[in-house]
Amino acid sequence: LVGGLEKLKIMAEEGVLRPQNFGLSVDDEEGFAPTSSATGSAGSSGAGPGLQFMDTSAYDASAASSSYTSGGVSDQGASSAAPSAGGGFFGFGGSSGASSQAFVEDEPDEPLLDELGIHPSHILKRTLLICQPWKSVKSAASGHRDDLLDDNDMAGPLLFCFALGFLLLLQGKMSFGYIYGVGMVGCVGIYALLSMMVNEHKLEFFRVVSYLGYSLLPIVFLAVPAVFITAQSAVMYVMVVVAVVWATRSAASLFVAAEGMDKQRYLIAYPIGLFYLGFALIAAF
């Protein structure tokens, strides 16, 4: 301490400690007084009769901590970024009330099959309709149009095609190519024929494919006994005729009810019968 005082004395004698270096101005009556640019208030520090230094009593730890704004970050920004009393950053881990406000409940998702356009209830109803050839389909002319007529479902026809191919595989026949080849050529041909016969509105291609695919069910039934019965037996010939007539009547009834072609029933049934006769020959022989 004594050495430091001696150094200050030497610096004062050499003129290093000047009032201008500390933001002070010369006052004739009171010695040195702080200028307007100096911060803080002037006070007596007891260093000497002619020197007055800045009073640091006004600066405390709380003021210094709250005045820290280095890098553009203040205490208010820090407090807003800190987790709240509820707990958690960005609203996570907080109270149940805050989380219920932050997240809005979504509407319940539809089942996956419905999103893909596959309706098992419709497949079952149309399958039962094909299994009952004596049951007539309600058309628009009767005043109560069946909803199944407007369903262009493709899941049922694909299922029946796979079932027919599997049954033929049990017979030792790799006929998947024949099934899809005959099916596509027949669907396109019947669609072209029906489009020329229907003049009131445009016929949908996938509706034609759906009707013909569901009516393939009697041919699938025919392929089941064909696994155990030889193709040259009389029973197999009778079963082929029954399956073709059954499938033809079912498909023709669907087209007549959907398009209102009552007077053209037999004209529609002829190409459809040839279509299913080709499948019957593949399944039985």
Query: Which pTM value belongs to this model?
Result: 0.59
What is the C-alpha separation between 276 and 220, in angstroms, rounded? Answer: 11
Nearest-5° angle of CA 178, CA 183, CA 187?
Answer: 155
CA dihedral sign of residues 166, 170, 176, 181: negative
Query: How many beta carbons lie within 10 A of that of residue 180, not counting itself?
Result: 12
Which tens digits make up the pLDDT trace of 257-285?
888 778 888 899 999 999 999 999 999 88
Choose among 181, 202, 194: nearest CA to 254: 194
Please, which residues have CB within 8 angstroms of residue 78's CB and are 6 or more apart in sequence?
none
CA dihedral sign of residues 202, 183, 243, 280: positive
pLDDT band at residue 242, thresholds of 50, 70 and 90?
very high
Which tens digits make up the pLDDT trace of 135-187?
777 655 555 566 677 778 888 999 999 999 999 999 888 888 999 999 999 99
